[in-house]
Amino acid sequence: MSSPRPQLLAIEQLQHSFGGVRAVDNVSFALHVGEVAALIGPNGAGKSTLFNLIDGQLVPQAGRVLFDGHSLALCSTAERARRGIGRTFQVAQTFATMTALQNVQLALVAAEGGAGWVRDRLWKLHIEAGHSLLGQVGLQKLAQSSAATLAYGDVKRLELALALAARPRLLLMDEPTAGMTPDERFALMHLIVEVARQNTMTVLFTEHSMDVVFGFARRILVLSRGRLIADDAPDAVRADAQVQRLYLGEAT
């Protein structure tokens, strides 16, 4: 019998409001090592805000985020990245004027830290590692293309490669397949699940396509107006009357 995986992330009674809007309202849950879970909910439910609280872009007004059992309250975004929290964004963030390969090289150099001449040396060393990462996300043929010229689906793949450069243990992906065709969505999610399996990486992703959510997540967390209204296996979430009423009835 396999032993249960250890807990990696614990969210405890997290709260954050913008003016009178409770974007994240008393949310608690934990993620275990290697889990691939989806965070779903209507527009404005608080999904991106929750990610911002986990990766340190926002400071919670109450509650705690624990990673590996340690509170992240005093950790900057950079320190959280060093500890193993990676992130991709709802609107993909890459350096448009650089090639795909240069983008990945930069992410690899940044992940290793160091300064001055160390960075110059790392830059050259990382050509091979950069090609390897681009290969992992299916962009090897576009290594020398400027990021500005990539199709949106390829930009999302590049953003995934940038996040993987830091070898995250937890990857938060905010709408990783937005703007992609159905085929591209499934290919990217297959890739993410496979990378997670190979690296024992935990993934929490937001997504509006229910095909993707129910096809790839083993566990689904549902937010509505900042509150976590369900956290269960896909079949149980699909059958949940409150989730049906507040979200699945209207989701595309």
- Binding positions for ligand ATP, rule: CB under 6 A: 18, 21, 23, 41, 43-49, 90
Do 217 and 211 touch, CB atoms closer than 8 A? no
Provide the CB-side half-sphere exposure for 20 (13 A, CA). Answer: 0
Residues 75-134 binding Mg ion (CB under 5 A) are 90
Name the DSSP letter for residue 140.
Answer: G
Judged by beta carbon, residue 83 or residue 208, the one nearer Mg ion is 208
Q: Which does 44 bind (CB under 5 to 8 A by kind): Mg ion, ligand ATP, none?
A: ligand ATP
Do 220 and 237 touch, CB atoms closer than 8 A? yes
Place of tokens 């905010």: 174
Judged by beta carbon, residue 54 or residue 134, the one nearer Mg ion is 54
Smallest distance from the beta carbon of 182 to Mg ion, in angstroms? 21
Pure H helices in the chain:
47-55, 77-83, 100-112, 117-136, 152-165, 182-199, 210-216, 234-239, 241-243
Residues 7-66 binding Mg ion (CB under 5 A) are 47-48
Do 85 and 66 touch, CB atoms closer than 8 A? no
With vertex at residue 91, the alpha carbon angle to CA 146 and CA 65, rounded to the nearest 5 degrees, is: 125
Smallest distance from the beta carbon of 93 to ligand ATP, in angstroms? 15
Reading the block at residue 60, the tokens are 């919670």
Q: How far apart are CA 182 and CA 200, in angstroms?
A: 26
Smallest distance from the beta carbon of 216 to Mg ion, in angstroms? 18
The answer to the question of residue 209 lying near Mg ion (CB under 5 A) is no
Task: Name which of 143, 141, 216 is nearest 177 in CA terms.
Answer: 216
3-state secondary structure of 87: strand
Smallest distance from the beta carbon of 41 to ligand ATP, in angstroms? 6
Q: Which does 18 bind (CB under 5 to 8 A by kind): ligand ATP, Mg ion, none?
A: ligand ATP
CA dihedral 198→204→209→213, nearest 10 degrees, is 60
3-state secondary structure of 171: strand
Judged by beta carbon, residue 57 or residue 149, the one nearer ligand ATP is 57
Smallest distance from the beta carbon of 100 to Mg ion, in angstroms? 25
Q: Which does 46 bind (CB under 5 to 8 A by kind): ligand ATP, Mg ion, none?
A: ligand ATP
Smallest distance from the beta carbon of 208 to ligand ATP, in angstroms? 7
Residue nearest to Mg ion (CB): 48
- Residue type at 179 in one-letter notation: G
Judged by beta carbon, residue 41 or residue 153, the one nearer ligand ATP is 41
Smallest distance from the beta carbon of 21 to Mg ion, in angstroms? 14
Judged by beta carbon, residue 44 or residue 234, the one nearer ligand ATP is 44
Judged by beta carbon, residue 39 or residue 162, the one nearer Mg ion is 39
Judged by beta carbon, residue 15 or residue 90, the one nearer ligand ATP is 90
Q: By the criterion CB under 5 A, which residues form the site for Mg ion?
A: 47-48, 90
